[in-house]
Amino acid sequence: MVTSSASASASSTSAAPILMVWDGDEKPHVLAVDDSFVDRRIIEKLLTNSSCKVTTAENAHGALELLGLADGQQNFGNTVSKVNLIITDYSMPGMTGYELLKKIKESPTGKEIPVVVVSSEHIPTRIEKCLEEGAKEFLLKPLRQSDVNQLRCHLMKLGNPSDEGMVCMGR
């Protein structure tokens, strides 16, 4: 199942959402991948509160199809509109978020997309492995509005290539 949302509504979390400024009318597009329906909805709500367009996938294979990177797919252009950031759960059946990260980073069309891995488990070796493979962040669940506000840095760097030297800081 894949859904897409671009609506904005009031936040019910303690941190106020930071509305992201993007050139033109185009909102940053985030692909959220999680096998948990509840976690997908939480991520989607937090991101739409921050003026993002969100597409969701319930597993890594669905995400690869959306990105045009599934086995047998050759064309990135015939998939969802340009994705500016991918947020993926680490622990999913079939293919982990780490394996999804590796496939994205091995792809010429996907390697430039920032990937953030999330997990409910704080396992330092897992975190290190994901960051070494190219994840921009590793966040612990449940995600909060403050986590999404932190991710704006990666989105803003994509929206403004002159910020090439900007450093995005973790928690």
In the prediction, which pLDDT does 149 show? Answer: 85
User: Alpha carbon of 74 to those of 29, 64, 70, 71, 109: distances in Å?
Assistant: 21, 11, 8, 8, 10
pTM for the model stands at 0.78
**Residues in contact with 154: Cβ distance below 8 Å, sequence separation at least 6, in sequence order:** 85, 114, 116, 136, 137, 168
| pLDDT tens for each residue of 98-157 | 999 999 999 988 899 999 999 999 999 999 999 999 999 999 999 999 998 888 776 765
Identity of residue 114: P
Q: In the CATH scheme, what is the code of domain 29-157?
A: 3.40.50.2300
Domain parsing of the chain, residue ranges: 29-157
**Rounded-to-integer distance, Cα 50 and Cα 96, Å:** 27
SS (H, E, C) 86-112: EEEECCCCCCCHHHHHHHHHHCCCCCC
